[in-house]
Structure 1
Amino acid sequence: MADRRAYRWPQPLQGQGNQIWYGGDYNPDQWPEEVWDEDVELMGKAGVNVVSLAIFSWSKLEPREGIYDFDWLDRIIAKLSAAGIGVLLASATASPPMWLTQSHPEVLWRDERGDVVWPGARQHWRPTSPIFRDYALKLCRALAQHYKDNPAIVGWHVGNEYGCHNRFDYSDDAMRAFQEWCKHRYGTIDALNDAWGTAFWSQHLDNFTQILPPRFIGNGNFMNPGKLLDFKRFSSDALKAFYMAERDTLQEITPDLPLTTNFMVSAEGSNLDYDDWGYEVDFVANDHYFTPGEAHLDELAYTASLVDGIARKSPWWLMEHSTGAVNWRPINYRKEPGQLVRDSLAHLAFGADAICYFQWRQSRSGAEKFHTAMLPHAGEDSQIFSDVCELGADLELLSEQGLPGSQLAKSQVAVVQDYQSEWASEHTATPSQKVRHWTEPLDWFRALADQGITADIVPLRGPWDSYQAAVLPAVYLLDEANSQRVHDYVSGGGKLFVTYYTGISDERDHIWLGGYPGSIRDVVGVRSEEFAPMGSGPGTLDHLDLSNGAVAHDMADVITSVEPSARVLATFQAPKRTGLDGLPAITVNEFGQGKAAYVAGKLGRKGLAQSLPELLKAMGLEGIAGQADGDILQVERADQTSGRRFIFLFNRTDHETATPATGEPMVASLARLEDGKAYLEPNGVLVLKQESKAEE
């Protein structure tokens, strides 16, 4: 793994102090110029201090090949700068203009059947096209040269949501690039044949030119899993290489400006290996849109914690979220009162130092006209804009009180997330299509929160082994290096929770032999011989009861041996004919100086929450639990220099709840502090400041 780029954060405009950046995408080219002055005036009213410009403006900036028009962009940047609003300038390459694709249709990506994906939306380009790269980098150079001395530009917004629509390309350009990627990864064709297991189904390759992308192979057939996993890795790398080419072109001309691109991290978002991409940005930025329903806050908190993990606890930028409804779901639910402010403060609590939206002014036409914005169709006389102004004032106050630059306080528990385990679990020939990696970390995060424990979400290549306790939840792929990390961590005194579907295969998706969980069986002290998937067909198991009252669904392990050092905490209860009755479901093993728990079935949030009190006690971790009922999500940011702490309290329920709290109230939305207790209504949030004793 390459070294991470040095952390660089956009600096305030001249004369301004350190602040939380606040604003969003701004698309003035979609509006008549007479609207611009009103926009800038209302931005000032709302407390906006930054906007992202020109994200989808290629055709406006280069209306004809080689003919650039920056006059309109100069004018709006001047207006913004005069109002004290900084600009995160986009490379504008997200979608090519029609003149380019008309002249060079060979830049358009192809689907797995070889059909061309035609212009008409966005991201209709292939990242491996040398022709497209040449045009894109010419635009980057022209923008950088024109704006290299403009003091209003605080950083570069490179591309936009890479891989949102063009993650996979099956063109001949992609084929040749995939062949080169494989040659670089494996060195010899024999090594590749071994990695892909090509002895199966007579898939042996004589040379790298025989490698094809995983194109259409017929309905119901099964793609080679090693090849498919590598193609997902390649596709992430191909887009990353394109981003890096843009980044390096801009940096060469404007070396003092920090650069980033907006990831799409969410609980189930796995288009790219975002942790790998985190090594290539100056600061991490993310786009996140809420999950409607009861998981709204928890999924947001989980995602924000994961972004903090990808950023390795450096402040990060929330590049996009929504003030209300989005436009791209089958049903686009509105946000409830209080959620606009609460959601933004939740991202802030988990380490964001920039809170931005898509977009400033809600579009009047186009595919995103029903996507809410900071200034909605109803105009400034609206609840949304009132909330936007309230949030702007809250962020200004928190900036004055010293929040920017503080870090999310380290939890005692790390929950591990791994993009490549998710990719491997997506294959169509697995024990159960109902089992994926991504659901298990989220369930653990929520179940721990039910015990009052706000866990850190940490990528597999991150420092999870520096925590008092860690969870490996359905981490399907464990290579030798990470298997050794597991051994060293537990033997050295770590407390590790391991679940079903962990350590099944190595990085090539080759099964670790001898029984599951493969290379860490000695650490967990149990051995499973086979899987016991559950479904809903006649005569099949649809669930498994546990002796502790929890219930497993979808997947369980058939554990046939337990080491003497392991203690069984719960067993499965099932009809005798299944052979599962009485088999271990939850165990704790002594290993070296530490302990390893094993959860042999998919218990979901409810089953995990039900099992955790006894499990934490058996692991010697009962002292780390917080609020007993888990109604409150408590998050802390701390300034290591001053000792100042900011405590964020969020109501996770649909009723008013209270918890003991101390500190100076900074922000209260649907919340209050009375007589040493915080009272929070549904969607409520309270932010408290606690000074160090020296400052007091």
Structure 2
Amino acid sequence: MAERRAYRWPQPLEGQPSKIWYGGDYNPDQWPEEVWDEDVELMGEAGVNVVSLAIFSWSKLEPREGIYDFDWLDRIIAKLYKAGIGVLLASATASPPMWLTQSHPEVLWRDKRGDVVWPGARQHWRPTSPIYRDYALKLCRALAEHYKDNPAIVGWHVGNEYGCHNRFDYSDDAMRAFQDWCKRRYGTIEELNEAWGTAFWSQHLDNFTQILPPRFIGEYNFMNPGKFLDYKRFSSDALKAFYVAERDCLQEITPDLPATTNFMVSAEGSNLDYDDWASEVDFVSNDHYFTPGESHFDELAYTSSLVDGIARKEPWWLMEHSAGAVNWRPINYRKEPGQLVRDSLAHLAFGADAICYFQWRQSRSGAEKFHSAMLPHAGKDSQMFQDVCELGKDLELLSEQGLIGSKLVKSQVAVVHDYQSEWASEHTATPSQQVRHWSEPLDWFRAFADQGITADVVPLAGPWDSYQAAVLPAVYLLDEANSQRVRDFVQAGGKLFVTYYTGISDERDHIWLGGYPGSIRDVVGVRSEEFAPMGQGEGCLDHLELSNGAVAHDMADVITSVESSVRILASFQAPKRTGMDGLPAITVNDFGEGQAAYVGCKLGREGLDKSLPELLEAMGLAASDENASGDLLRVEREGEDGVSRFVFFFNRADHEIEATAEGEPLMASLAHVESGRAKLDSNGVVIFKQDL
């Protein structure tokens, strides 16, 4: 993991106080200029103080090779600056203009079958193309030189959602870059052969030039797991190198302007190793779109906590979210009343100091014309715009009250998330295709919330071992160093929860031998000999009941031995023929000064909710607030000066609930506060300020 860049946050326009940044992507080039004045006027009405400009404007900025047109951009920036609205200026390189791809079709990426991915949408470029990089950096230099002294520019928005569409490229450029990457990583071809296990299926390589990308190898065949895992690492690194080249080009000319790019962190989103990428941005930014249905709010809270973990608790920027429906799902559900405000304040509660949307004005044409916006098709006379204005006032108040720069208060529990364990668990030759890493930490986060505990979500490379308790949920890859971190953490008194599918392989995806969880068996005190996957086939094991009333699905461990220091909290209850009846399912082991619980099956949120009370008691843990309720999510931010604390309450239920807090009530949405007691409707939120 690279050393992190010093944290730098976009500063307010000259003469303006620091505020929570509020706004969104703005695409004035998609509208006639007579609309611009109305846009700026309505932005003022909504409380907008920042916009991202020129994200997909390359063809407008450079209509022909080497011919630049910044006049239109100058005019709109001047209007915005006059209205007190800052600009996060994009490098505009997310999608090349047609003249570039027509002249240089070799910049287009290829799919795993070798077919060219033709232009007509976005991100139709390969990150390893030296030709594309040359053109992109020329544009970056031209933009930086032109705007280096413009007082409206508060920072750089570099690229856009790297890897959203071009994560994997299988071209010859990518092949050569992958060969070089492997040479840097392994040094010798012998080391690479050992890492990839090429003795299997006669895949031995004599030199680095024999390395191919994981191109199409036939239906129902299995790619070498070590190679495919490394290609995912390489692809993340290749895109990161492109970002770094753009960033360095821009900051060589404008060293005082901080730079970022918008990640796509979500519970399931694992295109890139965003924790690794965070070392290369001046401040972390994220795009997040809600998951429809009952998990909407919890997934949002989980993701925001993960972004906070990736940012190492420095304030971060919500670059994109939606005011209402999106346009890219099979069914694009609207947000319910109150969710526009509630969702934004939830991101804020978990550490965001900027709340922005895609986009300001809803498009009239193009592929995203049905994607909601701050100013919808219905115009200003709409509930959506009224909610946008309400939120603007809320953020103004919270800025005045000193929320800026405060940080998420550390929880007693860290739930670990690991991108590379997710990548490894995605392989098609695993014990069960129903088992992946990403769903397990989300289930634990939700189950803790059901117990009134708001956990922090922390990347594996982050400081999870500084918490009172930590969860390793299906962290499939544990190298020697992280295995030792586990050992040291518990030995020193830490409380550790470990689940099935943890510590199975090292960083090369080589199995730790001797039984599961291979690298930390001594810590958990149990040994599993094999997996017991569950499915829906006739006559197959489809579930396992536990003695505590929980039910396991998809995966269980066949635990055949336990240490004398282990207490069994729950066992499997199953037909004798399965060989699972009476085997341990949930255990707690004393190890050094600490304890390690082991959950040897996939319980899901409901099963964890049934099991956690006894587990927490056995581990000596409890909710920090004795009045905590699973219907409420409580989140706290505290200023660095330790003078004030902001307490957020969110209703997780579909009925009215009550919350009590000391301090001054600052704001309420779909809620009523009287004498320190709040009643929150569904989708309701209240915020209190406490003097410490």
Deviation string for 1:196-228 (max 9, x for gaps)? 000000000000000000000000000000000
**Cα shift at 1:415:** 0.1
| Alignment map for 1:593-672 (pairs within 5 Å) | 593-622=593-622, 624=624, 627-672=627-672
Letter in 2 for 1:514: G
The aligned residue for residue 383 of structure 1 is 383
**Counterpart Cα distance in 1 of 2:2 and 2:350:** 26
**Counterpart Cα distance in 1 of 2:279 and 2:640:** 24
**Cα shift at 1:18:** 1.0
Identity %: 85
**Counterpart Cα distance in 2 of 1:436 and 1:582:** 26
**Cα shift at 1:273:** 0.2
Letter in 2 for 1:317: W
Residue 431 (structure 1) aligned with residue 431 (structure 2): yes
**Cα shift at 1:257:** 0.2
**Counterpart Cα distance in 2 of 1:685 and 1:176:** 53
The answer (yes or no) to whether the contact 2:178–2:231 under 8 Å persists in 1 is: yes
The answer (yes or no) to whether the contact 1:502–1:517 under 8 Å persists in 2 is: yes
Which moves more between the two structures, 429-438 or 653-662? 653-662
The aligned residue for residue 350 of structure 1 is 350
Letter in 1 for 2:212: L
**Counterpart Cα distance in 1 of 2:647 and 2:186:** 49
TM-score, with normalisation over the residues of structure 1?
A: 0.99
**Counterpart Cα distance in 1 of 2:401 and 2:660:** 23
**Cα shift at 1:662:** 1.9
| Alignment map for 1:542-561 (pairs within 5 Å) | 542-561=542-561
Residue 475 (structure 1) aligned with residue 492 (structure 2): no
Distance change in 2, residues 1:636/1:445 (3 Å): same
**Counterpart Cα distance in 2 of 1:8 and 1:667:** 29
**Counterpart Cα distance in 1 of 2:395 and 2:628:** 31
The aligned residue for residue 271 of structure 2 is 271
**Counterpart Cα distance in 1 of 2:71 and 2:133:** 25
**Counterpart Cα distance in 1 of 2:578 and 2:81:** 71
| Alignment map for 1:138-287 (pairs within 5 Å) | 138-287=138-287
**Counterpart Cα distance in 1 of 2:667 and 2:327:** 30
**Cα shift at 1:660:** 2.1
Letter in 1 for 2:234: F
Which stretches in structure 2 are left out of the alignment for 5+ residues?
none
Instruction: Give secondary structure in 2 for the equivalent of 1:335.
Output: coil
The aligned residue for residue 495 of structure 1 is 495
Residue 417 (structure 1) aligned with residue 424 (structure 2): no
The aligned residue for residue 30 of structure 2 is 30
The answer (yes or no) to whether the contact 2:342–2:669 under 8 Å persists in 1 is: yes
**Counterpart Cα distance in 1 of 2:490 and 2:256:** 44
Distance change in 2, residues 1:161/1:325 (3 Å): same
Instruction: Give secondary structure in 1 for the equivalent of 2:682.
Output: strand
**Cα shift at 1:677:** 1.9
The aligned residue for residue 368 of structure 1 is 368
The answer (yes or no) to whether the contact 2:452–2:623 under 8 Å persists in 1 is: no
The answer (yes or no) to whether the contact 1:159–1:261 under 8 Å persists in 2 is: yes
Deviation string for 1:523-544 (max 9, x for gaps)? 0000000000000111111100
**Counterpart Cα distance in 1 of 2:337 and 2:354:** 22
**Counterpart Cα distance in 1 of 2:611 and 2:189:** 48
Instruction: Give secondary structure in 2 for the equivalent of 1:486.
Output: helix
**Cα shift at 1:667:** 1.3
**Counterpart Cα distance in 2 of 1:348 and 1:196:** 43
**Cα shift at 1:661:** 1.9
**Counterpart Cα distance in 1 of 2:629 and 2:150:** 53
The answer (yes or no) to whether the contact 2:413–2:456 under 8 Å persists in 1 is: yes
Residue 540 (structure 1) aligned with residue 540 (structure 2): yes
TM-score, with normalisation over the residues of structure 2?
A: 1.00
The answer (yes or no) to whether the contact 2:405–2:640 under 8 Å persists in 1 is: no
**Cα shift at 1:599:** 0.1
The aligned residue for residue 297 of structure 2 is 297
**Cα shift at 1:623:** 5.3
**Cα shift at 1:2:** 1.8
**Counterpart Cα distance in 1 of 2:591 and 2:290:** 41
**Cα shift at 1:676:** 3.1
**Cα shift at 1:678:** 1.8
**Counterpart Cα distance in 1 of 2:243 and 2:659:** 46
The aligned residue for residue 333 of structure 1 is 333
Distance change in 2, residues 1:626/1:202 (3 Å): farther
**Counterpart Cα distance in 1 of 2:659 and 2:605:** 23
**Counterpart Cα distance in 2 of 1:523 and 1:91:** 49
**Cα shift at 1:628:** 4.7
**Cα shift at 1:691:** 1.1
**Cα shift at 1:629:** 3.6
The aligned residue for residue 308 of structure 1 is 308
The answer (yes or no) to whether the contact 1:451–1:627 under 8 Å persists in 2 is: no
Deviation string for 1:311-356 (max 9, x for gaps)? 0000000000000000000000000000000000000000000000
**Counterpart Cα distance in 2 of 1:356 and 1:469:** 34
Which stretches in structure 1 are left out of the alignment for 5+ residues?
none
Residue 17 (structure 1) aligned with residue 13 (structure 2): no
The aligned residue for residue 578 of structure 1 is 578
Deviation string for 1:99-152 (max 9, x for gaps)? 000000000000000000000000000000000000000000000000000010
Instruction: Give secondary structure in 2 for the equivalent of 1:87.
Output: strand
**Counterpart Cα distance in 1 of 2:431 and 2:675:** 55
The answer (yes or no) to whether the contact 2:140–2:246 under 8 Å persists in 1 is: yes
Instruction: Give secondary structure in 1 for the equivalent of 2:650.
Output: strand
The aligned residue for residue 89 of structure 1 is 89
Instruction: Give secondary structure in 1 for the equivalent of 2:561.
Output: strand
Letter in 2 for 1:7: Y
Instruction: Give secondary structure in 2 for the equivalent of 1:59.
Output: helix
The answer (yes or no) to whether the contact 1:18–1:404 under 8 Å persists in 2 is: yes
The answer (yes or no) to whether the contact 2:633–2:651 under 8 Å persists in 1 is: yes
**Cα shift at 1:649:** 0.3
Letter in 2 for 1:403: L
| Alignment map for 1:36-115 (pairs within 5 Å) | 36-115=36-115
**Cα shift at 1:626:** 5.0
The aligned residue for residue 7 of structure 1 is 7
Letter in 1 for 2:550: A
The answer (yes or no) to whether the contact 1:451–1:625 under 8 Å persists in 2 is: no
The answer (yes or no) to whether the contact 1:24–1:356 under 8 Å persists in 2 is: yes
Residue 446 (structure 1) aligned with residue 446 (structure 2): yes
The answer (yes or no) to whether the contact 2:665–2:676 under 8 Å persists in 1 is: no
Instruction: Give secondary structure in 1 for the equivalent of 2:605.
Output: helix
Distance change in 2, residues 1:291/1:623 (3 Å): closer
Residue 516 (structure 1) aligned with residue 516 (structure 2): yes
Instruction: Give secondary structure in 2 for the equivalent of 1:622.
Output: coil
**Cα shift at 1:60:** 0.1
The aligned residue for residue 116 of structure 2 is 116
The answer (yes or no) to whether the contact 2:545–2:572 under 8 Å persists in 1 is: yes
**Cα shift at 1:659:** 2.4
**Cα shift at 1:640:** 2.3
The answer (yes or no) to whether the contact 2:649–2:659 under 8 Å persists in 1 is: no
**Counterpart Cα distance in 2 of 1:118 and 1:105:** 9
Distance change in 2, residues 1:126/1:60 (3 Å): same
CA RMSD of aligned residues (A): 0.7
Instruction: Give secondary structure in 1 for the equivalent of 2:177.
Output: helix
Residue 587 (structure 1) aligned with residue 571 (structure 2): no
The aligned residue for residue 565 of structure 1 is 565
**Cα shift at 1:627:** 4.2
Deviation string for 1:221-275 (max 9, x for gaps)? 0000000000000000000000000000001000000000000000000000000
